Amino acid sequence: MTKLLIKLFVKDSRNVSDPAVRQRYAMLAGITGIVLNLLLFAGKLTTGILAASVAVIADAFNNVSDAGSSVITIIGFRLAGKHEDKEHPLGHGRLEYVSAFIVDMLIILVGAELLKSSVEKIISPSLPAVSAATIVLLVAAVLVKLWLFFFYRKIGNLIDSAAVKSTSIDSISDTVATSLVLISTLVARFANVGIDGWAGILVAGFILFTGIKAAKETIDLLLGTPPEPAFIQELKDFVKNYPEVVGVHDLMVHDYGPGRKIISFHAEVPSDSDINYAHDVIDCIERDMHEKFGCIVTIHLDPIVTGNKEVDEMRRLAEETAKEVDSSFTIHDFRMTSGGKHINLIFDLSVPTDCKIPDGEAAQKVAEKISEKNPDCHAVIHPEHPFV
């Protein structure tokens, strides 16, 4: 069914990097969600009122909030797809994350309201009048929500959308919620026992948990999170195809929304290279990476000495010493200069953000160990943290 809908309503569906195609996917997801959730809302509200079941009525309003979430997702995609302007030179892509956060807040609000209604039901219990139609409707609702979960998840993964992925999480929570409501109605009909309020509390707890979890993930996107390791490795492997570049460091990926990434890094080239030729190679890499990854790329050229036996030995000494202090340490931007009575080894020390050794102490330990191994060497170290 999902493939059929995509084929019918998403033109050029394979070109998911195109903002226009992403919007068509979002419109399909949003409109499908609105239609199905409004139908579920109408059916559940009617049967919930007839059965006097707080759990069914609460579940109905959960569906209408889902329809509202779909509207917000559509609006978010429309705004995120706007072109750059004077006030927003990097585009409006992060509005998609904002819309996802609003959806997450709606999920939490629904959970809180359901929790309140369920507690009231426990305080003033009554046995709902469950009919066969109520049971059939709830079974159908579970199946519809389960299909929506797979539907949203597929589209969310295809276009890498935080908003649609949040909606898929909401759908699976709704599936569990409606299943619990179904169980409570079956118990009321066949065992003549009212657990309506307790079922509502379980549903509310699950909705609150999934909403808070999804909100945290969306906030992480807004604050900035490191890219996937596979993407970083793909970038490095791409640059390795250019023999003029002997190393890469200080890689940074700035995320301004889906399809709006800015990449920057330092590319190490032999210091004896022709500067004009090396600059032309760097320009070529920037253009090729933009075409390959659809990102804005800025590369800083770093000349390093290669093929010098003494420099290579000292670089190796610095690398091995850094690893002895902490196996996660790496070095780059290595230079060697004469300091009169000693040799200056100048380099940057990359210290992971989760390292328990303070930056200054890490640099001092590496410098001291280098001096112990070779008293003629004086290490000048600049500690820094990687951004990926």
* pLDDT tens-digit map of 3-36: 888 888 888 888 887 777 888 888 898 899 899 9
First to last CA, the chain: 39
Choose the CATH number for 229-384 among 3.40.50.970, 3.30.70.1350, 3.30.2270.10, 3.40.50.720: 3.30.70.1350
Quick: pLDDT tens for 268-294: 999 889 999 999 999 999 999 998 888
The SS3 of residue 240 is helix
Q: Which residue has the higher pLDDT, 351 or 209?
A: 351
Written as one string, the DSSP assignment of 114-163 is HHHHHHHHHHS-------HHHHHHHHHHHHHHHHHHHHHHHHHHHHT-HH
Specify the domain boundaries for CATH 3.30.70.1350 within the chain: 229-384
pLDDT-based confidence at residue 81 (cuts at 50, 70, 90)? confident
Q: Does residue 179 contact residue 142 with C-beta atoms inside 8 Å?
A: yes
pLDDT-based confidence at residue 354 (cuts at 50, 70, 90)? confident
Sheet of 247-255, strands arranged across: 247-255, 261-270, 296-304
Burial profile 134-172: b = 16 or more Cβ within 10 angstroms, e = fewer: bbebbeebbebbbbbbebbbbbbebbebbbbbbbbbbbb
At residue 259, the pLDDT reads 64
Q: What are phi and psi of 13, to 5 degrees?
A: -60, -20
- Nearest-10 Cα torsion for 353, 359, 361, 363: 110
The rounded distance, in Å, linking the Cα atoms of 176 and 199 is 11
CATH architecture of the region 2-223: Up-down Bundle (1.20)
What pTM was computed for the model? 0.63
Query: Which distant-in-sequence residues (6+ apart) come within 8 Å of 167 by Cβ?
Result: 29, 33, 66, 69, 70, 73, 103, 152, 156
- Kindly report which listed range (193-197, 308-312, 315-319, 373-377) carries the lowest average pLDDT score: 193-197
C-alpha closest to that of 224 among 252, 249, 250, 254: 254
Other Cβ atoms less than 10 A from the Cβ of 194: the count is 18
Burial zone of 180 (CB within 10 Å; 0-12 exposed, 13-18 middle, 19+ buried): buried
Specify the domain boundaries for CATH 1.20.1510.10 within the chain: 2-223
Other Cβ atoms less than 10 A from the Cβ of 279: the count is 13
The rounded distance, in Å, linking the Cα atoms of 302 and 311 is 16
The SS3 of residue 336 is strand
